Amino acid sequence: MKQKHVKFAFFLDLESAYKTLLRNKIRSFLTILGIIIGVGSVIATISIGQGASRAIQNSINSMGSNMLIILPGSSSLGGIRSGFGILPDLTLNDVYAIRKLPAVKTDSGNLGMGQQVVWHGNNWSTLVIGASSTFTEIRNWPVAKGTFFTHQQVASAANVAVIGNTAAAELFGLINPIGHIVIIHNVPFTIIGLLSVKGFNAFGQDQDDTVVIPITTMLEKIAGTTWVHAIAVSAKTSKDTSLAQSEITALLRQRHHIPPRKPDDFFVRNLTELAATANSSANTFTILLASIAAVSLLVGGIGIMNIMLVSVTERTKEIGIRMAIGAKKSDILKQFLIESSVLSLFGGILGIGLGFGISSAISAFSPLKTIVTTEPIIISLVFSLCVGIFFGFYPAFKASRMNPVEALRYE
């Protein structure tokens, strides 16, 4: 019974506040304009930030999932230190050993070389990658037409190639490349598949400008070496990437006979960590923008306080009447607090609409695809409610402390 009464009274208060605010539509609207703009810009900036971080995530994912890249180490001969990737110390046997590690799902030894690819008098310089049959899986990169080369084709060093979209367009134009024979480094290769379009990677490289051949063929017939440029490894899950990293490090140190306290002669790069770093910098940027936008919410709150002070003064007589009838201090306080909360909450709701509008306009007119999630919506609603309560408190407190005799005398 008591509970029911309290609930009912609260709705009465809400209704009364709503009616009061509707009586002064333009003033109420101008009062909450600050909140509308504040909430709108918070939501818009966060949606831009999240869109940007999704774009970064996508471009990193496009390089492969849960991926680790193992590069040869740097050399230090006679005091001259070279960069990573110089030592010819990663071999196919390393690749086969890594394949057996528990945290590793698949791997692919890679050797990439710039080569001239020739077809019927037409030629094109592109990146020729020697890879294992697991290449499509590790790089999240299926073939669009034809097939990828098999494990047997890698084992037998077959003369087969799978061509990327850009390279295919440059060499073959509109002709279907599958079944044609191209010449790379004087060796004929049959095109057996066309890779799907991958786009540019995070570093602005066109990933589709490539031809992929078995790593064995690459080593034996083109490069004439036994070492690979890089080993790409896919961990079982995203959580396994650091485990895989330490397993690989331990294994390669053992295989390369590196004594303790000597530096590694290879380098393991964790792309998941790279993604996390890129993401965190995008987040920092979003937080910075959103906090600037939040300042306008604060300014909006001051606007509410200003108008509530005016409203309290204007309604001094009403406050006096209510007190004479039996309103306690808390009743008056509650009445004005509810009014300011309804104001700011309403501003928050309109602001969310504005934020949606801005972010969909950005999506429509710019390449960035913004993302509006529920979190900033809930946070800005709660925040605008808090602004209403915080900035409404002083005027409401002032109203509740009025002397009924003086308030009744006010005209």
CB of 322 to another protein, least distance (A): 7
Q: Residues 6 or more apart from 282 whose CB is under 8 A from it? A: 49, 52, 53, 56
Q: Which residues contact 136 (CB under 8 A, 6 or more apart)?
A: 142, 143, 148
Query: Are 176 and 226 a contacting pair, CB within 8 Å?
Result: no
Q: How far is the CB of 24 from another protein (least distance, A)?
A: 10
Site residues for another protein per CB under 8 A: 1, 4-5, 8-9, 12, 16, 19-20, 23, 317-318, 320-331, 404-405, 408
Residue with Cβ nearer another protein (299 or 405): 405
Residue 134: exposure state from Cβ atoms within 10 A (0-12, 13-18, ≥19): buried
With H, G, I as helix, E, B as strand and everything else as coil, classify residue 386.
Answer: helix
Q: How far is the CA of 52 from the CAs of 364, 370, 384, in angstroms?
A: 15, 7, 26
Q: Which residue is it, tokens 């910075």?
A: 288
CB 337, min distance to another protein, A: 16
Judged by beta carbon, residue 143 or residue 408, the one nearer another protein is 408
Contact 252, 12 (CB under 8 A): no
Q: Among residues 44 and 332, whose Cβ is nearest to another protein? A: 332
Q: Which is nearer to another protein, 239 or 317 (CB)?
A: 317
Copy the structure tokens of residue 338.
Answer: 């509810």
* Cα 111 to Cα 133: distance, rounded to the nearest angstrom: 14
- For residue 383, the number of C-alpha atoms closer than 13 Å in the C-beta half-sphere is 24
Q: What's the min distance (Å) between Cβ of 1 and another protein? A: 8
Nearest approach, Cβ of residue 353 and another protein (Å): 28
Beta carbon of residue 35, minimum distance to another protein (angstroms, whole number): 24
**Smaller CB separation from another protein, 139 or 322:** 322
Least gap, CB of 367 to another protein (angstroms): 52
Residue with tokens 């950005």: 362
Residue 324: CB minimum distance to another protein, A = 5
For another protein, give the closer residue by CB, 43 or 343: 343
Name the minimum Å distance from CB 333 to another protein: 11
Angstrom CA distances, 228 to 220, 237, 247, 382, 387, stand at 12, 25, 20, 56, 61
Cα–Cα distance measured from residue 150 to residue 154, given in angstroms and rounded to the nearest whole number: 6
Please say which residue, 264 or 314, places its beta carbon nearer to another protein: 314
Rounded Cα distance between 7 and 5, Å, is: 5
CB 61 within 8 A of CB 139: no
CB-nearer residue toward another protein: 174 or 325: 325
Question: Which CB atom, from 174 or from 411, has the smaller least distance to another protein?
Answer: 411
Q: Where are the alpha helices (DSSP H) in 123-208?
A: 135-138, 151-155, 165-172
Distance of closest approach, residue 7 Cβ to another protein, in angstroms = 11
Comparison of 13 and 209: residue with beta carbon closer to another protein: 13
